[in-house]
Amino acid sequence: MYFMTDRLRHVTCRNTKKIFSQKTGEHVDTVRRLSAEFERGIPAWALPTALEKFPKAPEMKPDGMPLERWLCWYDSRFDQALKNLTDEEREIIERKLNGRPGIVMVEEPKVPAPWPAYDKIKEHGQKRIEHVVAEIVDTVDKLELNPEGVIAYERQNRNRAEVIAALEALMEKDEDEPLIEA
């Protein structure tokens, strides 16, 4: 989940706790501290929500600084991967942040499928990822679609590195080709 706020924040969601054996009184484990550290900068897609939720933010930021660089951001899934948190620990952080005054949970707008049958192109049986990549690139080429939109959808949904790399290569190829006058 994504969270934003109008000021830098550090939110402690759980303090470090030592666990002792009831029988022996010995230290047996430690529950780690959980926190959310907001950083400056929000993605452009979150700006309309930010203007709605933080109407005074444009007045608070320094002159000349874009609002999307002034507002603060926390991505719980990114933090989970960075800190090697369990799903349970990530959910503890999300519950603590959700509904807290001055912090807003936001969802990235869903990118529509590039064409209706896009999600039906999958690896199965003898159809390996190379075949999937070739089929997607061929369809993008035939339908003359903008690869950027297909990449955005792929990143949000399947996030297959091979597909994204092939579409990025297709974009570079299109940039290198000279325009031919008719």
Instruction: Tell me the pLDDT tens digit for each residue of 12-66.
Output: 999 998 888 888 888 888 888 999 999 999 998 899 999 999 999 888 888 888 9
Q: What is the DSSP-derived secondary structure letter of residue 89?
A: H
Is pLDDT at 176 greater than 70 in this prediction? no
Instruction: List CB contacts of 83: < 8 A, sequence separation 6 or more.
Output: none
Q: What is the pLDDT of residue 99?
A: 82
CB 66, CB 38: distance < 8 Å:
no
**Across 9-13, 48-52, 87-91, 178-182, least confident range:** 178-182
Is pLDDT at 177 greater than 60 in this prediction? no
C-alpha 145/C-alpha 159 separation (Å) is 19
pLDDT tens-digit map of 98-157: 989 999 999 888 888 888 888 888 777 666 888 888 888 898 888 888 888 888 888 888
Q: Which of residues 174 and 134 earns the better pLDDT score?
A: 134
Q: Euclidean distance between the first and final Cα of the chain, in Å? A: 50
pTM: 0.66
Confidence class for position 171, pLDDT limits 50, 70, 90: confident
Q: Where is 79: in which H helix or E strand? A: helix 76-83
